[in-house]
Amino acid sequence: MNNRILVTGGAGYIGSHACKALQTAGYEPVVFDNLIYGHPWAVKWGPLIRGDLADPQQIEAALDEVKPAAVMHFAAYAYVGESVTNPAKYYRNNVVGSLNLLDAMRNRSIESLVFSSTCASYGIPRVTPIDESHPQNPINPYGRSKLMIEQAMADYSAAYGLRCVALRYFNAAGADPEAEIGEDHSPETHLIPLVLMAAAGIRDSITVFGRDYDTDDGTCVRDYVHVSDLAQAHVLALQALDQGAESAVYNLGNGTGFSVQQVIDACQRVTGRPIKVVDGPRRAGDPPRLVGDASKIINDLGWSPRYADLDTIVETAWNWTRHHFK
């Protein structure tokens, strides 16, 4: 049986954790990454092909060389703020790059794809928790770029027999429990790594973006989901496709919301270090509350998050922060 899986963006945060989960499950991940944001050190579970989806010939050559049974597609730019100031970068990379991948797969009759989508495709929620039937009205180019690809995939599924599982993540967080890999963005914009860097003395303080939201303590509420649990969901999606499943979309979240202040409190508890907190203005484009309902993947594919507890998520991230940044 052909167990090779091409993993675009496999040198990145979530993609690298997926590679580890793939190898553990008996697959052979081959990473395709341009290394603009990805790290060579994060590619530990199979070969690395350095290439860019912007160039159709590079992805075609990689598919011809690897002849994968399926593709996992993580490669994308993911800075929401940057997508507003430089949308061209996002549409070209995320949308055109994905279309190049889809067409290269179609021409080679590779029909199984697992795609990284996002809760940012829902926009401002009308109801929470958000399930998959919630309308998708993204409020920034990043979310729109991901939605466009979901739509293209649905159309390619209907017309060309592609079978695609799109996974809409809520807030990916934490690190490999064995600290072999973890989060290392440059620039770092995400809450948990920034708070932990403040705890470690790598940064001076953490700024809370707004305390005047309509939430219990006035700070924004998010649904944090462990990156290794996300990775495991990708393996389940792939196994379902292996067994002939049709195209589907699934949310990935824990269904519990934590405020920015609660995250800072958890980081203080776990690290036992003082963390300097500064109050700042709201960040543009932040919905007050984003919490996901993942019942569908729990029921359909048996997804069972192992690290759903916030303190456990923070512990794995703290362990990584101390190993990696010191």
Residues in the chain: 326
With CB under 6 A as the contact rule, the residue among 146, 222, 234, 289 that binds ligand UDP is: 222
Q: Is the CB of 171 or the CB of 228 nearer to ligand UDP?
A: 171
With CB under 6 A as the contact rule, the residue among 53, 66, 191, 294 that binds ligand UDP is: 191
DSSP string, 52-66: -TTSHHHHHHHHHHH
DSSP-derived letter for residue 127 is: S
Q: Does 190 help bind ligand UDP (rule: CB under 6 A)? A: yes
The nearest distance, CB 234 to ligand UDP, in angstroms, is: 19
The nearest distance, CB 31 to ligand UDP, in angstroms, is: 24
Question: Would you tell me how many other CB atoms lie within 10 Å of the CB of residue 187?
Answer: 6
Query: Whose CA is closest to 221, among 320, 129, 95, 312?
Result: 129
Q: Does 189 help bind ligand UDP (rule: CB under 6 A)? A: yes
Binding to ligand UDP, residues 254-313 (CB under 6 A): 260, 283, 286
C-alpha span between 234 and 238 (Å, rounded): 6
Selected catalytic residue, list 13, 37, 142, 224 = 142
Which residues does residue 31 pair with via DSSP β-bridges, in sequence order? Answer: 7, 48
SS3 content of the chain, % helix, strand, coil (to 5): 40, 20, 40
**Residues touching ligand UDP, count (CB under 6 A):** 14
Applying CB under 6 A, the span of 29-37, 96-104, 161-169, 203-211 interacting with ligand UDP comes to 203-211
Specify whether the CB–CB gap between 162 and 105 falls below 8 A. Answer: yes
Q: Does 207 help bind ligand UDP (rule: CB under 6 A)? A: yes
The nearest distance, CB 192 to ligand UDP, in angstroms, is: 7
The nearest distance, CB 195 to ligand UDP, in angstroms, is: 8
Q: Does 208 help bind ligand UDP (rule: CB under 6 A)? A: yes
Sequence-ordered list of residues with C-beta below 8 angstroms from that of 169, at least 6 positions apart, any chain: 14, 116, 117, 118, 119, 225, 230, 252, 253
The nearest distance, CB 111 to ligand UDP, in angstroms, is: 31
Encoding tokens for residue 266?
């958890």
Specify whether 307 is catalytic: no
Active-site residue list? 142
Which residues contact ligand UDP by CB under 6 A? 171, 189-191, 194, 206-209, 220, 222, 260, 283, 286
